[in-house]
């Protein structure tokens, strides 16, 4: 192998390792396949918003493409962005809880702290939109048995993911890389839950979204929400 290829090979291996590590342990709840075998479905899920710029661009694309998605909201990011949050609800997307602060050490400090955090975020969403969230995504992912019991008790459905676009995992990823990573990590799964982010730094995600939607359409997926 020529030496000039070495950095590229190392880069590719690193990306693969990061993605493998990221997906490990992100087990989704056991899927129940009640649809015909040839039907494929993809859930676009956006975490960490709302943001002023990226969320709006994403909503524009979803509207243009007639696709609905699920948005997992960080409660303390709502203030000053109420119009954006309301727009998510008004355009038929699903709002979920993704914690009040996204600060792991506070959220996961105890079951009582966790419950309070979920309640605060849900209340903040309800206050602005009138909608009561029924789905939850753990900040940082992973399994949290006692917290899962709390959520079950509160009537929440927990949503993990089984594919990523790479917007958090690959630093400064281009829109093309995000498209390719979505396709690679989704593989040929019949049910894809794709993790994307709509917080402020993720302009490449907004840029990649039309191509990501086109990719899943071309591969005969239907778009669903939780």
Q: Within 109-202, where are the H helices?
A: 111-129, 145-154, 175-186
Distance in Å, CB of 76 to Zn ion, minimum = 13
Q: Which residues bind Zn ion (CB under 5 A)?
A: 47-48, 139
How far apart are CB 47 and Zn ion at their closest, in Å? 4
In whole angstroms, the minimum distance from the beta carbon of 168 to Zn ion comes to 8
Nearer to Zn ion, 159 or 221 (CB): 159
116 within 8 A of 150, measured Cβ to Cβ: no
Query: What is d(CA 198, CA 186) in angstroms, rounded to the nearest whole number?
Result: 19
Q: How many residues does the chain have?
A: 226
Residue with smallest beta-carbon separation from Zn ion: 47
How many Cβ atoms sit within 10 Å of the Cβ of residue 148?
15
> How distant is the alpha carbon of residue 16 from its chain centre?
20
* Complex with Zn ion: residue 114 or 221, whichever CB lies closer: 114
* Comparison of 48 and 167: residue with beta carbon closer to Zn ion: 48
Judging by DSSP bridges, how do beta strands 163-164 and 135-136 pair with one another?
A: unpaired
- CB of 113 vs Zn ion, minimal distance in Å: 17
Handedness of CA 115, 120, 121, 123 (dihedral sign): positive
List the beta bridge partners of residue 45: 70, 195
User: Whole-number minimum distance, CB 140 to Zn ion, in Å?
Assistant: 7
Cβ nearer to Zn ion, comparing 196 with 213? 196
**Phi, psi angle pair for 9, to nearest 5°:** -60, -45
Is 137 or 191 the residue whose CB approaches Zn ion more closely?
Answer: 137
């Amino acid at each position: 192998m020529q030496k000039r290829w070495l950095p590229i090979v190392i880069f590719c291996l690193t990306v693969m390792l990061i993605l493998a590590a990221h997906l490990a342990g992100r087990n989704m709840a056991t899927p129940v396949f009640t649809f015909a075998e040839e039907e494929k479905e993809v859930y676009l899920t956006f975490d960490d918003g709302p943001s002023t710029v990226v969320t709006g661009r994403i909503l524009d694309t979803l509207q243009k493409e007639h696709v609905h998605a699920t948005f997992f909201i960080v409660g303390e990011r709502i203030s000053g962005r109420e119009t954006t949050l309301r727009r998510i609800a008004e355009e038929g997307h699903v709002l979920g809880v993704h914690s009040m602060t996204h600060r792991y050490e506070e959220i996961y400090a105890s079951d009582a702290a966790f419950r309070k955090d979920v309640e605060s975020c849900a209340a903040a969403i309800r206050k602005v939109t009138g909608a009561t969230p029924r789905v939850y995504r753990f900040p940082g992912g992973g399994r949290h048995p006692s917290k899962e019991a709390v959520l079950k008790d509160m009537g929440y459905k927990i949503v993990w993911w089984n594919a990523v676009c790479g917007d958090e995992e690959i630093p400064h990823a281009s829109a093309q890389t995000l498209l390719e990573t979505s396709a690679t990590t989704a593989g040929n799964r019949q049910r894809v839950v794709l993790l994307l982010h709509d917080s402020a730094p993720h302009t490449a995600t907004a840029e990649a979204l039309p191509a990501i939607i086109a990719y899943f359409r071309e591969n005969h997926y239907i778009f669903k929400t939780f």
